[in-house]
A and B are shown apart, each in its own frame.
Chain A
């Protein structure tokens, strides 16, 4: 789960990491009032779940409250990579002497959290990694023993020479590591971590991603979820306990199992079609899930045919068939559907579906080809 910069900064401030004062605004007037309270030049920063906000014109400098109001009016409602800006963070502008990058990610290979720091901050860290990998320093942390102060100091020395700044930075790194564990983050990042003319080290940006698997015990963090910033279909899918990712194509897919769902999408592409989505109904055989899934797919106006691919193991094909029947009765979809049900109880499933005369294919490749063919007819 992603949270906004202003929410991440609140978490940092709570942990004692220095961040500039700021508040979030949803209207230009609010932005004006916040800038007045801050009483010095501010940055007006769009709050959307996407990188490259600055380049897209979603981050601007305002000399005074009046300017902040005008900029907020421009930025609010702006489209950044397909996402509409609904909120802006109005925060004190800092004079920047140097910019660094610090972050913690879960490293899958070592099964440990890894610190990454770089004196080349303020730019896309992936770019730094690709062009000048020697400017990135990494340190694996023992997840049981935790980050030791000397390790934090060693990392800080990679960024600063001034001992006062090294100390400030080491303290920030210790606190950042605490945040990583406290909120069950999969990523925490400060880019850039700056020094200002009074030699203070300050986090002027913040990024925190939360491990979805840990949300059951992170109720406070889950409450930060911004439903306005998400696709309504994705929200419906999550509420229905489905994995769903919308795509640009026209063939709606409903599959059991994440790997098979991906493979089905890949085959759609391979045989000349374009998948409209990734959708995994999971391992259970709950017919209601099938109804929710078909509702989401048929709500996508791009979809011209629907492909249902079920390999029954634990999932029973007859349960899926019952769900399909309920969905057909409730939703009365006009989009053509092709099914492939194989494995556990596939014969019963075929009997249940018989009177609906849905085309049925026996193999993965054939069901994909059929779905593409049906989508073409629909044009």
Chain B
């Protein structure tokens, strides 16, 4: 299992004849993704690495029954490409393009919502559902099949975290990069919800960075709705305020969006924040272990008290809360020790 993409994904590549589009179309196909077509206006009838090229998305969808699109179109034309894909009935659009004006994204986003589609990105590396499908630019070589769901605002930092997990023997279900821009289609909460509902995902890694309040919102969501263990990493603790750190969205403005605030919010929600991406597997293993022990405890309790369901549910709820707190405290202690 996985989220958003899988064996049923039928992908078209918008901008397939461009330098990036043609290179990645081949890589995506080589990973085993079902790439059914490409689109470049004026290049219809040709093919790229055996993938048929169409003039319009509408035509591509009609001929191939595509349900997903990935966009490698330069910034001045990328928003038009999103409109075109959604209008043609594509329900999942992944936009890799970096450098789209925020004002354009504000205008296209309401249309995506209205049409009931999902947009991932822009300015994102895409996603991989391990051994099923890859869409975007993530290297397929670093992932390994397993039970960890990974979501991140970054590209190479995500690879670093995935690689650390793989090296530690902790494989992944889906690894997804949601993008580093200010206005993005899919946020942390969307992915957390999907991972929570995905049976094969047993734990979650969330990699955030400075700027905005997506991590704080995610922390609140996790506390309320996520039962699976979550470990985080936040980049940009040493970033100066008011400076854009590469990503358009990675900026501390008006004193908000600092790493400190995000870490505080996550700790408060019982989510440990690793001091280095390489320490993520260690934190995750500990948390999974604690969750198992906790589960055993809950089961025993259920057996002993059959009096009232309501009471036992309440007890479980408080128990989960209190272990979360304990975990958070325990983490802090180990983190301090590590630094010494």
Interface residues of chain A, those whose CB is within 8 Å of chain B, are 106, 108-109, 111-113, 125-126, 129-130, 142-144, 181, 184, 186, 211-214, 216-217, 243, 245, 247, 255-263, 265-270, 275, 278, 280, 283, 311-315, 342-344, 363-365
Q: Is the CB of B238 within 8 A of A259?
A: no
User: With contacts A216-B76, A257-B155, A259-B157 known, is A343 near B139, CB below 8 A?
Assistant: yes
| Bound Cα distance from A262 to B109, whole angstroms | 29
B154, B157, B245: which contacts A278 (Cβ < 8 A)? B245
| Bound Cα distance from A176 to B237, whole angstroms | 35
* Per-residue A-contact encoding for B226-251, CB less than 8 Å = 1, 0 else: 00000001011111100111111110
Within 8 A of A (CB), among B207-234: 207, 209-214, 217, 233
Partner-binding segment picked from B95-103, B264-272, B282-290, B318-326? B95-103
Which chain A residue has the least Cβ–Cβ distance from B103? A184
Which residues of B sit under 8 angstroms from A113, Cβ to Cβ?
A: 106
Which chain A residue has the least Cβ–Cβ distance from B153? A259
| Bound Cα distance from A109 to B256, whole angstroms | 13
Which residues of A sit under 8 angstroms from B12, Cβ to Cβ?
A: none
Q: Is the CB of B275 within 8 A of A270?
A: yes
Which residues of A sit under 8 angstroms from B80, Cβ to Cβ?
A: none
Q: Is the CB of B212 within 8 A of A109?
A: yes
Interface size on B (CB < 8 Å)? 63
User: With contacts A213-B100, A259-B152, A259-B158 known, is A314 near B235, CB below 8 A?
Assistant: no
| Bound Cα distance from A212 to B233, whole angstroms | 27
Which chain A residue has the least Cβ–Cβ distance from B137? A314
| Bound Cα distance from A66 to B309, whole angstroms | 86
B106, B141, B214, B233: which contacts A263 (Cβ < 8 A)? B233
| Bound Cα distance from A247 to B238, whole angstroms | 9
Which chain B residue has the least Cβ–Cβ distance from A142? B110
A111, A126, A270: which contacts B276 (Cβ < 8 A)? A270
A142, A245, A283: which contacts B155 (Cβ < 8 A)? A283
B110, B141, B157, B255: which contacts A126 (Cβ < 8 A)? B255
Q: Is the CB of A259 within 8 A of B76?
A: no
Within 8 A of A (CB), among B139-194: 139, 141-142, 152-160, 163, 180, 182-183
User: With contacts A181-B103, A344-B139 known, is A270 near B339, CB below 8 A?
Assistant: yes
Q: 17 other contacts beyond A263-B276, A344-B141, with CB at 8 A cut-off?
A: A106-B183, A126-B255, A143-B107, A184-B101, A214-B102, A243-B246, A257-B246, A258-B247, A259-B207, A260-B156, A262-B246, A263-B277, A269-B238, A278-B243, A311-B159, A313-B142, A313-B159
| Bound Cα distance from A130 to B256, whole angstroms | 11
* Per-residue A-contact encoding for B197-213, CB less than 8 Å = 1, 0 else: 00000000001011111
Distance (Å) between the CB of B240 and the closest chain A CB? 7
Q: Is the CB of B182 within 8 A of A108?
A: yes
| Bound Cα distance from A364 to B233, whole angstroms | 14
User: With contacts A113-B106, A247-B238, A247-B240 known, is A261 near B101, CB below 8 A?
Assistant: no
Q: Which of A184, A260, A275, A342 has the most CB of B within 10 A?
A: A260
Q: Return 18 A-B CB contacts under 8 Å, by A number.
A: A106-B106, A126-B254, A144-B107, A213-B100, A216-B99, A243-B244, A245-B243, A255-B156, A257-B155, A257-B156, A262-B157, A262-B210, A262-B245, A263-B277, A283-B137, A311-B163, A313-B138, A343-B139
Distance (Å) between the CB of A89 and the closest chain B CB? 22
Q: Is the CB of A214 within 8 A of B142?
A: no
Which chain A residue has the least Cβ–Cβ distance from B254? A126
Which chain A residue has the least Cβ–Cβ distance from B255? A126
User: With contacts A211-B102, A247-B240 known, is A256 near B278, CB below 8 A?
Assistant: no
Which residues of B sit under 8 angstroms from A365, Cβ to Cβ?
A: 276, 278
B155, B213, B249, B278: which contacts A313 (Cβ < 8 A)? B155
Prevailing SS type, chain A contact patch: mixed
* Per-residue A-contact encoding for B66-89, CB less than 8 Å = 1, 0 else: 000000000110000000000000
Which chain B residue has the least Cβ–Cβ distance from A113? B106
Which chain B residue has the least Cβ–Cβ distance from A187? B253
User: With contacts A257-B154, A259-B247, A365-B278 known, is A343 near B159, CB below 8 A?
Assistant: yes
Q: Is the CB of A278 within 8 A of B278?
A: no
Q: Is the CB of A343 within 8 A of B142?
A: yes
Q: Is the CB of A262 within 8 A of B235?
A: yes
Distance (Å) between the CB of A38 and the closest chain B CB? 33
Kindly state whether residue B105 has any CB partner on chain A within 8 Å: yes
Q: Which of A181, A217, A259 has the most CB of B within 10 A?
A: A259
Which chain B residue has the least Cβ–Cβ distance from A283? B155
Distance (Å) between the CB of A275 and the closest chain B CB? 6
Which residues of A sit under 8 angstroms from B246, Cβ to Cβ?
A: 243, 257-259, 261-262, 278, 280
Which residues of B sit under 8 angstroms from A112, Cβ to Cβ?
A: 106
Which residues of A sit under 8 angstroms from B99, Cβ to Cβ?
A: 213, 216
Q: Is the CB of B155 within 8 A of A259?
A: yes
A106, A258, A311, A344: which contacts B102 (Cβ < 8 A)? A106
User: With contacts A260-B157, A266-B235, A278-B246 known, is A144 near B137, CB below 8 A?
Assistant: no
User: With contacts A111-B183, A260-B160 known, is A212 near B139, CB below 8 A?
Assistant: no
Q: Top 9 closest A-B pairs, CB basis?
A: A259-B154, A258-B246, A257-B156, A259-B157, A214-B101, A262-B235, A243-B246, A143-B106, A260-B156
Which chain B residue has the least Cβ–Cβ distance from A268? B238
Q: Is the CB of B209 within 8 A of A259?
A: yes
Which residues of A sit under 8 angstroms from B180, Cβ to Cβ?
A: 258-259
Q: Which of A126, A213, A261, A363 has the most CB of B within 10 A?
A: A213
| Bound Cα distance from A211 to B250, whole angstroms | 13
Q: Is the CB of A313 within 8 A of B110?
A: no
| Bound Cα distance from A344 to B27, whole angstroms | 13
Which residues of B sit under 8 angstroms from A268, Cβ to Cβ?
A: 238
Q: Is the CB of A186 within 8 A of B102?
A: yes
Q: Which of B98, B156, B244, B278 has the most CB of A within 10 A?
A: B156
Which residues of B sit under 8 angstroms from A269, Cβ to Cβ?
A: 237-238
Q: Is the CB of A259 within 8 A of B275?
A: no
